[in-house]
Amino acid sequence: MMTVACLAGALVVITSAGASSGTEQNGELVADGAWCWFQDPRAVHYVGTRDRTYIGYVNSVGDVDVVSQEAGTAALAHTTLHAGLQADDHAAPGIVVLPDRRIAVFYARHAQGSMMFRISLRTEDITAFGPETTVPSNVPGLYAATYANPIYLPAEHRLYLFFRGANRNPVMTWTRDYVHWSPAVEVAVSDDVPTPSRPYVKYATNGVDTIAISFTDGHPHEVPRNSLYEMTYKAGVLSAPDGTPVSVLDPSAVTDPTVAVPHTGSMHTDWLREGNQSGVVYDDDEGDAHAWIESMALDPNDAPVIVYSTYQDRTNAPYYYARLDGNGWTTTHIADAGGTIDPVEPEYSGGADIDRNNPGTVYVSRELPVGSGTWELGRWTIQSGTVVPVTQTSIVKNVRPVVPWGPPGEIQVVWMSGTYTDYHLGKYHTQLREITTNLAPTTARISAPAAAARGTTVRVGAAAAQGYRGDAVAYVPIELLGHPAGQPDRVLQSTRTDRTGHAAFNVRATVTMRFTIHMPATATYGASTSPSAVVNVSQGSTVRLSASPTSIRRGQTVTIGMRAVDRYTGAVFAHATIQLWQSVPGHALQLVGTYVAGANGLAQTVRRPSVTVSYQARLVASATHLAATSTNVSVHVG
């Protein structure tokens, strides 16, 4: 294996025996993005008519955004769903692809208000969304919705939404039409700690009929003990990991009413502790090593796989890998995580996520070396038992990895890379970076004046950036494309970006043109095309002024003529707007009238000056011509 150092903003190549193409690109996806780790899916790979990965996040000023990346080309699309929702990483969204292939995105402020969502207007396309809608369902309580976890079960034709409810426990609601939602029900209650606590939950699904749920008693530094539990939701029933039915959560979804279920309602942790049901993944019985859930998945046999951390030593918390087999839970130490990424939250380890297509693979973030303040990303497999570096010699925090849900795709993992000092008030400034087995994504940008005079030189600026508004892509080919109305697009000029990722093209303005910047694909980067920019070419203008006569006696009239013409051809500007200004001795010019020229470009008016006066005509600029000012013409009054 060969790895190359991953510094902030740099793109490196990692040669890996585990990569599907043999070469993995470590590229920037988003310049400013973050998420917490209790909303999922944060990234979804979906293959329909298109092969795309959809990623949701919140940026450092609180905008809730979603971006998609096309397989093969690495082409990006982007939409802001809610500007300025909350500068808090808990406001990041969860994403689900609906049966009709539209994209639904759910999000909420951190314990402030209801769960909200928007649905894309077109299938497999995040460039346009319908209106923002509020999920009306919650449970009674003093708090609000947090942590969106939408999961669609085809077997039930239901979209389930799990979130932390108003009572701070996990709750569930569902819909079939995305308009009417079932009354929210509480999913789990901890009996082992004083109430109220707030369990933290991770979810997984087999994508058909089952949702696996793993949760803690509460927040690790708010409860005397923090154990970890697991259960399964299927056909309205909550079961222990060994398949024993424990509680009916939704009677309307039960398909076999003959099955004996001892309880009704939310799962109590005491029920999971009863008998030999293996509902306890990790028991913090002494209260000296509180647990926190990092990730969970289902293996091909629908058996749960869980990664969690414990905090007896908060300066170097260990990650554990737990899987259910015929003998109960088998637990393996993965690696030590180092310290917290957030000084206010001592249990904020760098994070870990399971590859759901290969549950024996886990991406982990570790502080290396411990106490250094930098975090590296690594890939651990149960077969090797070792962590292989994904990033090395970093100068930033590489944290909270996310493996996209869905079938295997080009994007292996996405993570936050940058500075992180707190989860709210915008105290996180992180990129979203990715490991992809194909081209790294880019965006091309354009800058151009809105208008120019015919015959002048127009300067069109170009830039190439990594990901969405990311760091510069230096020394790569870049092209200027353009066309006038009614003609095909063509390459006008080409060059390479400089070391800052910028380039410029000079074009002589003759007619109105629509320009775009195109960055062709390279061996490393995907192609990208900027939005278009129209440069309206205004004809050079002259406004001519005449007065007849130019010498009068007091009380006589003067006819003022004003004509707007093209300075190059003399062609008139029909219906142009022309202003008439005048001044008398000792006074500045003042506007005395505004006129619209006729089809012949001429505007006329009659004046009756009482003293000697000087006139000036001014042509008002429009889309077809520039502004112009005439020479002054004086009328002597004797």
Say what the pLDDT of residue 11 is: 44
Closest CA to 370 of 317, 417, 294: 317
Which pLDDT does position 453 carry in this prediction? 79
Q: What is the pLDDT of residue 274?
A: 85
Residue, of 46 and 13, whose pLDDT is higher: 46
What domains are there in the chain, each with its CATH number? 12-436 (2.130.10.120), 442-538 (2.60.40.2470), 541-637 (2.60.40.10)
Say what the pLDDT of residue 196 is. 78
Over residues 255-275, mean pLDDT: 92
Evaluate if residue 9 carries a pLDDT over 50: no
Which residues lie below 8 Å from residue 566, measured CB to CB, with a gap of 6+? Answer: 539, 540, 541, 542, 572, 573, 625
Q: Convert the pLDDT of each residue in 189-230 to its tens digit.
A: 999 888 778 999 999 999 999 999 999 999 999 999 999 999
Report the alpha-carbon distance of residue 615 to residue 604 in Å, rounded.
13
Query: What's the whole-number mean pLDDT along residues 130-136?
Result: 98
- Which residues on neighbouring strands pair with residue 390, listed in sequence order? none
Q: What contacts 160, CB < 8 A, 6 or more positions away?
A: 150, 151, 152, 153, 172, 173, 174, 211
Tens digit of pLDDT for each residue in 568-581? 778 899 999 999 99
CA–CA dist 210, 204 (Å, integer): 8
- Reported as a pLDDT band with limits 50, 70 and 90, residue 3 is very low
Going by pLDDT thresholds of 50, 70 and 90, the confidence category of residue 623 is confident
Q: Read off the pLDDT of residues 382-404 as tens digits, 9 standing for 90 and up.
A: 999 999 999 999 999 999 999 99
The overall average pLDDT reported for the chain is: 93
Q: What is the pLDDT of residue 5?
A: 34
Query: How many Cα atoms sit within 13 Å of 157 on the Cβ side?
Result: 3
Compute the average pLDDT of residues 159-184: 97
| Band of residue 8 on the pLDDT scale cut at 50, 70, 90 | very low
How far apart CA 111 and CA 120 sit, in angstroms, is 25
Q: pLDDT band at residue 454, thresholds of 50, 70 and 90?
A: confident
pLDDT tens-digit readout, 406-444: 999 999 999 999 999 999 988 999 999 999 999 999 999
pLDDT tens-place string over residues 305-330: 999 999 999 999 999 999 998 888 99
Distance CA 510, CA 494 (A): 20
DSSP reduced 3-state for 308: strand
Instruction: Provide mean pLDDT across the span 255-282.
Output: 91
User: Any idea which of 52-66, 91-105, 315-329, 561-575 has the lowest mean pLDDT?
Assistant: 561-575
The model's pLDDT over 340-387, given as tens digits with 9 standing for 90+, comes to: 999 999 999 999 999 999 999 999 999 999 999 999 999 999 999 999
Per DSSP bridges, beta strands 533-538 and 188-189 are: unpaired
Average pLDDT over residues 266-289: 91
Q: Tokens 């061996």 sit at which residue?
A: 523
Q: Do the Cβ atoms of 535 and 452 come closer than 8 Å? A: yes
Q: How far apart are CA 62 and CA 476, in angstroms?
A: 33
Q: What is the mean pLDDT of residues 486-497?
A: 95
Quote the pLDDT of residue 276: 64
Span 17-32, pLDDT tens digits:
333 344 788 999 999 9
Instruction: Give the strand pairing for 590-596 and 397-402.
Output: unpaired
Give the model's pLDDT for residue 437. Answer: 95
